Amino acid sequence: MADQTLPDGRPVPHLTGDERPMLESWLDFHRGTLALKCAELDDTQVRTASAEPSALTLLGLVQHLAEVERNWFQRVVGGLDVPPVFGEETGYALDPARGLDEALNAWRREIARGRELCAGRSLDDTGRLVDGPMAGLEVSLRWVFIHMIEEYARHNGHADILRERIDGVTGF
């Protein structure tokens, strides 16, 4: 199937075909959805929290997902010892000096590095969890892709609510 895009620019996930391209296309669709949720917003808008008591923001989500990309693809799959992207593990903390463009650029660099590390690996190749209650356990690249799709889908739901609060835009 030739790669197709939706009118909003997001890639259409593969509807048929082999497992690896399908998993990668669904992950790319969700990455595209996050970028779309941030489109045409200024730095003040992406710092707007959803609803009290939550401090969750679109900027925080972009930063968090940059950390998630680094953790799963570099630390777990690649076995690399790399520091957090933004100096703290979750990425949610906002720095007054860091705007959306900087966060999006860092997020895109993490995506690109993850793609490099996964190229040529089998879905059955394994890495090790580096922290948390299951530290040291093996996970397959297949599991990491599925987890990343789940992670983005969950956070894109948050992004839907945030975007609606900011300017009323819903859907997509």
Joined tokens for residue 40: 């045409």
The values of phi and psi at residue 133, to 5°, are: -65, -15
Positive/negative CA dihedral, 122, 129, 29, 43 = negative
Q: Could you state, in order of their start, the residue ranges of all structural domains in the chain?
A: 19-167
Q: What predicted TM-score, i.e. pTM, was given to this entire model?
A: 0.94
pLDDT, one tens digit for every residue, the chain (172 residues): 457 999 998 999 999 999 999 999 999 999 999 999 999 999 999 999 988 899 999 999 999 999 999 999 999 999 999 999 998 777 898 999 999 999 999 999 999 999 999 999 999 999 999 988 999 999 999 999 999 999 999 999 999 999 999 999 887 6
Strands 138-140 and 126-128: antiparallel
19-167 maps to CATH 1.20.120.450? yes
